[in-house]
Chain A
Amino acid sequence: MKKTTFFGAVAAATMTAGFAAAGTLDDVKAKGFLQCGVSTGLAGFSAADANGNWDGFDVAVCRAVAAAVLGDPQAVKFTPTTGKTRFTALASGEIDMLARNTTWTFSRDVDLKFTFIGVNYYDGQGFMVPKELGVSSAKDLDGATVCIQTGTTTELNLADFFRSNNISYEPVPIETNAEAQQQYLAGACDVYTTDASGLAATRATFENPDDHALLPEIISKEPLGPLVRHGDDQWADIGRWVLNALIAAEELGITSANVKESAMAAGNNPEINRLLGTEGNLGEQLGLSADFAKNAIAAGGNYGEIFARHIGESTPIGLARGLNAQWTDGGLIYAPPFR
C-alpha cells in the first residue's frame, strides 16, 4: 500500500512544473490567483481569523494587487512565512510577491536581488519599557536585558546603537512577537525592541497599556514595503503602481464608497480620470485592464481607509498616521503622478 503514495508527489511535481519560466503576470493570470507571502501572524498587519480568512494591513496590499490583476480581491492565496523562509520563498518562485513588513535595505535590494515596489509603512525601531523602571531615554539602558524579535534588521540596529553609545546590554533573541510579549510582561526582559508600529500594536493589547512607555529614541529607519523578485520589471511595475494608485486615491479623495460612481463617467479632474481608466490607457501600458486601479481601490479602499481599518487610531492597534500621513498633511506618503 505504501509506495503508491509516492505518486502524489510525482503527480503534483509534474503538474506544478509547468509554471514559472514565463513572466510572473502571465503565471498569475494562468493560475488564476496571486500567491502572496505574509507574516505567520502579526496583529493588524496579517492574521487569520477563526475561519481562516487573512486580514490586515499587509494582506490588504496583496488583495489590492489581486484585484488589479485578476479583478477579484479574493483571488489570493497566502503563504505564511517566517523571518527565515520569506526571502527563499520569494527567490524560488514559491510566492509571487512578499508583503511581510519587510525593511527596504541596500543589501536586500542589491545582494539578495529583490525589487521593493514602494513603501507602505514608514517605521523605525523603538523601545518599550515599563514605566516603573523610570527610564526616560534609551541611553539610560546600560546593562539592561533587551528582548529582540530575531530574524530581522532589529538585532543589527540594536548592536549598532549600543556600540555607538558605548553602553552594554544583554540581548534575548525571540522568534515570535507573542513570546517576546510574554517575556517582557513577566519582567524577564526590561526592554522590548522592535518596529515602533509593532510596539504600539503590542502595547495596545496589554491589560494595562498605560503602565508601559515608548522611549523617544527611534534608532533606525525602517521603510516597510512589499517586494518582488529582480528581473521581472513588468511585474514590479504592476505592484508599484497598484500601491501608488491606493496612495493617489486617498490624495484625490477616491474611496471604496465613491470609486464606482467616479469610474462610471469621466469627471473634470483629468488625473482621477487617468487613474480610474476613463481617460488614457495606463492600464493597457501595464498589461492590465483599464480599470485596474478602480478594482484595487474597490477591494479595500484607498491607502487611508486601509490604514484606518487595520491599524488606525480606532482599532485596538491605535497607530497615528504620523510619518505615514499624505505629503499634503506633512507625512511621507507620496505617489508619483499618474500620467
Chain B
Amino acid sequence: MSATTDPPKDGFQLSQLIYDTRYRSMTIQIVALVLFLLGVGWLLNNAAQNLAALGKPLSFGFLGEAAGYDINQKLIEYNNQMSHGRAALVGVLNTLLVAVLGCILATVLGVVIGVLRLSNNWVVARLMTVYIESFRNVPVLLWIVLTMAIFIESFPAPRAFRGENASASMSLWDSVALTNRGLYIPKPELYSGSTAVIVVFLLSIVGIFVFGTWSRKRQEATGQILPNFWIKLAIFFVPTLLVYFILGRPIGLELPELKGFNFQGGIYMRNSLIALTLALGLYTAAFVAENVRAGIMAVSKGQSEAAFALGLSPNRTMNLIILPQALRVIIPPLISQYLNLTKNSSLAIAVGYMDITGTLGGITLNQTGKEMECLLILMAIYLAISLLISSVMNWYNESVKLRER
C-alpha cells in the first residue's frame, strides 16, 4: 500500500498498473479483453467438442446441395432441384418484400391515424385511441394468426367462383378476384412500342422534379405561387396517356381467370403475404401513430400561431412550418419501428410465408440437421438487414437535421 503514498518514481513498478490512473484503464481493458476472449474461447471450444462428439463438423457444403423442396412464392427463379443456398436467397427476398410492403403500410396508416387521433372530432379521436391501444397491447404473433384466420374464414374460396350460380364473383369489371387464397390482380402485358410509353413515363417523372425546382426558384424570385400540385399531376398523367393512345395502346392487361383449381394469370398475391403485411403494418402503424402524435405535439403552438399571423394557409402551415419540425422528432423512433417490423417479419413462419426463417431457418434446417450453420447464417442475414436499414435511415435523418438552422 506504500506505493500510493509515494510520489511517482522514475522506475516503473508493477503496482502502478493498478493504482496509477495513467495505466489503470489500460489494465482494466486488457483484463476485460482477456476475460472476454477466454469466455468466447470456452464457448467455441465446447461447441467444437460437442459437434465433434456428434460427428457433425461445421461445414457449409450443404448450401450447394439440392434443396428438394418447393417454395410457393419466389421472386427469382427457383425449383426443388436448386440448392439450399438458392432457397435461402428466395427467402431473403421474400423477407425484404414483406418488410418493405409492411413499412409502407405502417407509415401511411400511422401518419393518418396519428393525425386523426389529434382531430377535434370526438368519435374519430376515440376510435383511433381504441385502435392504437388494442394493437399496441396485444402480441403481434396473435395479430398475425388472427389476421390470417380472418382472411381465410371470411373470403370465398376459388371454388365459390365456379359454376352457373357461383356464390362469389370477381370485382372491378371481372379484373380482380379476392379469394381466401389471396388476391389476383391484372398483370400488365407489354407489346411492341411499350418501351416508348415507359420512357415517356420516366421522363415525365424527371419533369416533375425539374418543374418543382423551377417553380421554387420562380417563387423565390417573384413571390408568385403556381398551383403546383395540379401542374405536377398533369405532368404525371398527360404525356404518358397521350403516347399510350397515340401508339395504339401498347400495354395491355392480363386478367386472372378461373382455370382448374385456381385462378390463372395476372399477379397473385398470396394470402400469407397479405395477412402478414396487414398484421405487421397495422401493428406497427399503432406505434408509428403514437410517434407521429408525439412529433406534432412537440411543435409548440407558437409556431403555428406565428405562421397564421404571417398569413399562411393551414395547408402551407402544415407543410412548411409544422411538418419539417415534427419530422425531426418523428424520424428517429420511426427507424426503430421499421427495424422492429423487419425483425417481426420473422414470425412469418406462423402463417406459412416462406421468408428466410421459413426456408433457411425452417425447412433447410430440418432437412439437413445443420442447426449451427443455418442459425449463424440466419442471424448474419438479419444483422446485415438491420444495419442496412439503420444506416440508410440514419443517413436520411442526418440530412433532415442538416437543413435546420
Q: Hey, which bits of chain A sit against chain B, CB under 8 A?
A: 83-84, 87-88, 91, 111-113, 132-133, 141-145, 150-152, 155-156, 158-160, 162-163, 169-175, 179, 182-183, 186-190
A76→B259 CA distance, assembly (Å)? 53
CA separation between A162 and B262, bound complex, in Å?
A: 17
Considering the complex, give the chain B residue whose CB is closest to the CB of A88. B371
| Least Cβ–Cβ distance between B168 and chain A, in angstroms | 11
Q: Are A155 and B70 in contact (CB under 8 A)?
A: yes
Is A188's CB under 8 angstroms from B261's CB? Answer: no
Query: Does B262 contact A87, Cβ atoms closer than 8 Å?
Result: no
Q: Which residues of B contact A144 (CB under 8 A)?
A: 260-262
Contacting pair A84 B362 (CB below 8 A) = yes
B180 pairs with A175, CB closer than 8 A: no
Give bound CA distance, A171 to B70, whole Å: 7
Closest 7 CB pairs of A and B: A187-B157, A159-B80, A144-B261, A143-B260, A186-B152, A173-B352, A155-B69
| Contact between A173 and B354, CB atoms less than 8 A apart | yes
Please state if A175 and B350 are interface contacts (CB–CB under 8 Å). Answer: yes
| Cross-chain contact A187 with B159 (CB below 8 angstroms) | yes
What are 25 A-B contacts with C-beta separation under 8 Å?
A111-B369, A113-B54, A113-B55, A142-B260, A144-B261, A145-B261, A150-B362, A151-B362, A155-B363, A158-B70, A162-B70, A163-B81, A171-B69, A171-B72, A173-B72, A173-B358, A182-B149, A182-B152, A186-B152, A187-B156, A187-B158, A188-B152, A188-B157, A190-B159, A190-B261
Residues of B within 8 A of A (CB): 54-55, 68-72, 80-81, 149, 152-153, 156-160, 180-181, 259-262, 264, 271-272, 349-350, 352, 354, 358, 362-363, 365-367, 369, 371
Give A145 to B352 CA distance when docked, in angstroms: 13
Residue in B closest to A149 when the chains form the complex, CB atoms: B352
Closest to B358 in A: A173
Measured in the bound complex, the distance between the Cα atoms of B65 and A111 in whole Å is: 15
Chain A neighbourhood of B149, CB < 8 A:
182
Q: Write the nearest CB–CB distance from B145 to chain A, whole angstroms.
A: 8
- CB contact under 8 A between A188 and B260, given known A173-B358, A174-B352: no
Q: How far is the CA of A144 from the CA of B349 in the complex (A)?
A: 22
**Which chain A residues lie closer than 8 Å to B180 at the CB level?**
186-188
Q: How far is the CB of A21 from chain B (nearest CB, A)?
A: 11
Q: In the bound complex, do residue B366 and residue A84 qualify as a contact, i.e. CB atoms below 8 Å apart?
A: yes
Q: Are A159 and B363 in contact (CB under 8 A)?
A: no
Q: Chain A residue with minimal CB distance to B261?
A: A144
Given A84-B362, A143-B259, check contact A187 B352 (CB 8 Å).
no
Beta-carbon nearest neighbor of A143 in chain B: B260
Collect the chain A residues with CB atoms within 8 Å of residue B272's CB: 172
Contacts of B367 in A (CB 8 A): 156
**Nearest CB of chain A from residue B60's CB, rounded to whole Å:** 16
Chain A positions within 8 Å of B261 at CB level: 133, 141, 143-145, 190
Interface-central residue, A132, A173, A175, A182, by most chain B CB under 10 Å: A173
Chain A residues lying within 8 Å of B72, measured Cβ to Cβ, are 170-173
B70–A159 CB distance below 8 A: yes
Instruction: Please report the C-alpha to C-alpha distance between residue A145 and residue B179 in the assembled complex, in whole angstroms.
Output: 13
Question: Using Cβ atoms and an 8 Å threshold, which residues of chain B touch A113?
Answer: 54-55
Shortest CB-to-CB span from A56 to chain B, Å, is: 23
Docked-complex contact A143 and B262, CB < 8 angstroms: yes
Name 14 extra pairs, CB < 8 A, besides A143-B264, A150-B366, A182-B153. Answer: A113-B55, A132-B159, A143-B262, A144-B261, A169-B70, A171-B69, A171-B72, A172-B272, A173-B72, A186-B152, A186-B157, A187-B157, A187-B158, A187-B160
Contact of B365 with A84 in the complex, beta carbons under 8 Å: yes
State whether B55 touches A170 (Cβ < 8 A): no
In the docked arrangement, what's the CA distance between A150 and B358, Å? 9
Contacts of A152 in B (CB 8 A): 366
Contact of B68 among A142, A151, A159 (CB under 8 A): A159
Task: Specify which chain A residues have a CB less than 8 angstroms from the CB of B271 in the assembled complex.
Answer: 188
A278 to chain B minimum Cβ distance, whole angstroms, is 42
Residues of chain B within 8 A (CB-CB) of A145 are: 181, 261-262
Are A151 and B366 touching (Cβ within 8 A)?
A: yes
Contacts of A87 in B (CB 8 A): 369
CA–CA, A182 to B351, complex, Å?
12
Nearest residue (CB) in B for A187 is B157
**Which of A112, A142, A183 is close to B152, meaning CB atoms less than 8 Å apart?**
A183
Q: Which of B68, B160, B262 contacts A170 (CB 8 A)?
A: B262
Residue numbers in B under 8 Å from A159 (CB-CB): 68-70, 80
Please, how many angstroms separate the alpha-carbon atoms of A162 and B369 in the complex?
Answer: 25
Q: Is the CB of B159 within 8 A of A133?
A: yes
For A141, what are the chain B residues with a Cβ–Cβ distance below 8 Å?
Answer: 261
Also in contact, A150 and B363, with CB within 8 A (given A173-B352, A173-B354, A186-B157): yes
